[in-house]
Structure 1
Amino acid sequence: MKRLAALLIVLCMLLSAAGATAGNEQVQGEIVIYSSMYQFVLDMLDEALREEFPNLKPGNNGSFFVYGGTSRLINQIYGEMEDGVLGCDMLLVAEPALSLELKDAEYLEPVEVRDAASLLRFPYDEEGYWYPVRVCNMVLAYNPELETRWAEKGVTVPKTFKDFASDRSLKGVIAMGDPLSSGTTFAAVASLTQSGHYGRQYLKGLAANEIQIISGADSIAKIRSGEIAAAMILEESVLKALKDAEDQGVPLTNLACIYPEDGVILIPSTVMTVSDAHSKNANAEACKAVEQWFLSEPAQKLILNGYMHSVFANMNQIPYGSVDTEELIAKDMGVNWENVYHSREEINLAWMDIVANRLN
């Protein structure tokens, strides 16, 4: 009986490691990951991590992830840095300037990703302190069914980010997220207001147009109902709504992306491992294996299933309903992440002074 019991234990161990890449079943301990990805994406990644790392323990009430908007997570991280230890072991947040900041503060552990130069089509830290793992795309959205009706009211649906803030026919009928809570919206504001683009005048235009500051889900609902003419929004939010409706057998014809003629804003979101001296579980070795997995083909396909673009140079697949990633790269307005790192507070204060306070 003892021998049979031992055999059963061995069999269970083998089954639990099934599907794991050779060596990853040896990865042990506990980790927590701060992430701003949508919960449905985190659920997919959580399940995949359990399969790939069967002996790694999720450190947040049964999940590997703690979800929060990037800007809110950054404020939380700043508070934790006062004590010298973060409440996580890894970070997957939307705004790459944080990577530069945490590297300078010596909070990160370098990770080697083999052939990173040929693997990735977006910048990464050559010392291995951070790598892009997913690409968010800020666009505009509108209701094709109502464009003519809006025109009859004297409202022109914007085809550029510039018109979104400068066309006064849009006063009161446009929306966007809050950069004080959303890292991708903050990145868009940083890009559109930076030198060489539209400057702080862009914020004045948003305020003059009495922009509504609401969530992506609320923007989509108001676009479809005709309450607003357009919204600045993540492409992934629109694509998910379209795919969900198609899967339910009721395809949407009253929602679509506008890829602005003056350029899109790509946000290559990074993955980072926190050094043992500053992390919750001091398990950098396990985190390195997880970080390398995020830059594997199975993980990148999950990113695509989450309606975001892959960072792989040889990835021809695109998110459902999107356009070619290389085409977007050619139209990318770009963000000066070094400037964002050093000017984060200034950008937030400008937003508060010029836009938020005038709308309240």
Structure 2
Amino acid sequence: MRKYVIVILLLICSAVLFGTEKIMLYTSVPTEIMTAIADAFMAANPGIELEVFRSGTGTIQTKLAAEVQSGNIQADVLWVAEFSYYETLKKQGLLAQIYPEEASALPENFKDPEGYYYAGRLINMVIAYNTKALTPETAPKSWKELTDEKWYDNYVVPNPEYSGAAVAAVGALAKKYGWKYFEDLRKNEAVVVRGNSDVAQKVAAGEFPIGMTLDYIARDLNVKGSPIDIIYPTDGTIAIPSPIAILKSSQKMEAAMKFVNYILSIDGQKAQVELGSLVPVRSDVNPPANTPPAGEILGQAMEIDWKYIEEGLAEINANFSDIMLF
């Protein structure tokens, strides 16, 4: 009997010493893509179990704010699309100051100068079109062109209250063209849906010939055979470095840092390209087929005033809602 007790105690000690460590990631990366990336990370790091809460950036912001209020933050790592949100969290003292080894391979404009967050992927708001309805020649070439009556009741866009990328897009377009741009879109009967995946699915299904969505979502559908392709608008792609950061409250700092380093590493960037058609933030990793590298995309991108978006977030959402939804 004593022998069995000793064996059980040894097994318990082994589980404590060598068991897996769980970390929680809050992210807006689509579920199918994030699941594949998480599996690749855990295969490379068998001692760590990555749990994922996946939703739109707006939902994650609300969830994290409630956890901060209650003093019970569940997330260890944050990886969403709304770049300016990280500045807000940094000012609130909620992010850990970290210096991942793999960050040395990133361009300076993909790193917070103070070391609180780092771009883990480059996502880009583009014009998607249904290839059965339009061709590269007949599809709209610019954001401005979408206010033309030619596209009346033919255009679908995501809601910035749900999508962080949509916040960036709405903020950039409002700054460039003024809110009259959205008034013109409303007159043109542009339709608002929840998120970028919803837009892409509706364009691919032929419900709308054109839509505003993220490049990698449309590209992933295209690779899988859906009739959807993208246009990089002549008045500027809305390029969004999607940062990754660790919450200061995390009790799993070492494991969380391993995940951050993995995402920024050559292997992690290659996994994002292969599993999610994402544009890598490292110049030593090739982008998806027929896709410009990050530097080229940024070179023709629309200017985004992140300070304007951070300070004016409530106004941006309210103006968009008043114009486009009521």
User: Which TM-score tier does this pair reach, normalised by the shorter chain?
Assistant: 0.7 to 0.9
Note if contact 1:122-1:311 (Cα within 8 Å) is conserved in structure 2: no
1:300 aligned residue (269, 292, 295): 269
Opposite residue 163 of structure 1, the aligned amino acid is E
2:304 aligned residue (322, 332, 335): 335
> What residue is the counterpart of 2:173 in the other structure?
192
Indicate the RMSD between aligned Cα atoms, in angstroms: 2.8
> What residue is the counterpart of 1:355 in the other structure?
324
Note if contact 2:283-2:293 (Cα within 8 Å) is conserved in structure 1: no
C-alpha displacement of 1:52: 2.5
2: distance between equivalents of 1:67 and 1:39?
6
Q: Secondary structure of 1:349's partner?
A: helix
1:75 aligned residue (54, 62, 65): 62
Opposite residue 32 of structure 2, the aligned amino acid is F
C-alpha displacement of 1:28: 6.0
> What residue is the counterpart of 1:311 in the other structure?
281
> What residue is the counterpart of 2:78 in the other structure?
91
Query: Please, what TM-score do these two structures have when normalized by structure 1?
Result: 0.79
C-alpha displacement of 1:171: 1.9
C-alpha displacement of 1:127: 2.4
Of 120-129 and 231-240, more deviation after overlay is shown by 120-129
> What residue is the counterpart of 2:239 in the other structure?
266
2: distance between equivalents of 1:128 and 1:327?
25
C-alpha displacement of 1:227: 4.0
Q: Secondary structure of 1:302's partner?
A: helix
C-alpha displacement of 1:289: 2.4
1: distance between equivalents of 2:88 and 2:206?
42
1:233 aligned residue (197, 202, 213): 213
1: distance between equivalents of 2:134 and 2:84?
37
Q: 1:226 to 1:66 in 2, by over 3 A?
A: closer
C-alpha displacement of 1:267: 0.9
2:192 aligned residue (185, 190, 213): 213
Opposite residue 296 of structure 1, the aligned amino acid is S
Correspondence 1:182 to 2:155: no
1:190-248, Cα deviation, whole Å (9 max, x unpaired): 11112xx1121222122111111135455445445654331111111211111112xxx
1:162 aligned residue (135, 144, 154): 144
> What residue is the counterpart of 1:39 in the other structure?
31
Q: 1:173 to 1:29 in 2, by over 3 A?
A: same
2: distance between equivalents of 1:225 and 1:299?
31
2: distance between equivalents of 1:86 and 1:225?
39
Unaligned runs of 5+ in 1: 14-24, 59-63, 246-251
Unaligned runs of 5+ in 2: none
Note if contact 2:103-2:261 (Cα within 8 Å) is conserved in structure 1: no
1: distance between equivalents of 2:128 and 2:32?
22
2: distance between equivalents of 1:181 and 1:328?
25
Opposite residue 144 of structure 2, the aligned amino acid is K
> What residue is the counterpart of 1:119 in the other structure?
106
1:1-28, Cα deviation, whole Å (9 max, x unpaired): x9xxx9xx9xxx9xxxxxxxxxxx9896
Q: 1:244 to 1:346 in 2, by over 3 A?
A: same
Q: 1:27 to 1:104 in 2, by over 3 A?
A: farther
Q: 1:34 to 1:219 in 2, by over 3 A?
A: closer
Q: 1:312 to 1:324 in 2, by over 3 A?
A: closer
1: distance between equivalents of 2:149 and 2:247?
46
2: distance between equivalents of 1:340 and 1:232?
19
Q: 1:346 to 1:217 in 2, by over 3 A?
A: closer
Opposite residue 246 of structure 2, the aligned amino acid is T
C-alpha displacement of 1:117: 5.2
2: distance between equivalents of 1:313 and 1:323?
11
1: distance between equivalents of 2:107 and 2:72?
31
2: distance between equivalents of 1:235 and 1:117?
26
> What residue is the counterpart of 1:66 in the other structure?
53
Note if contact 1:121-1:312 (Cα within 8 Å) is conserved in structure 2: no
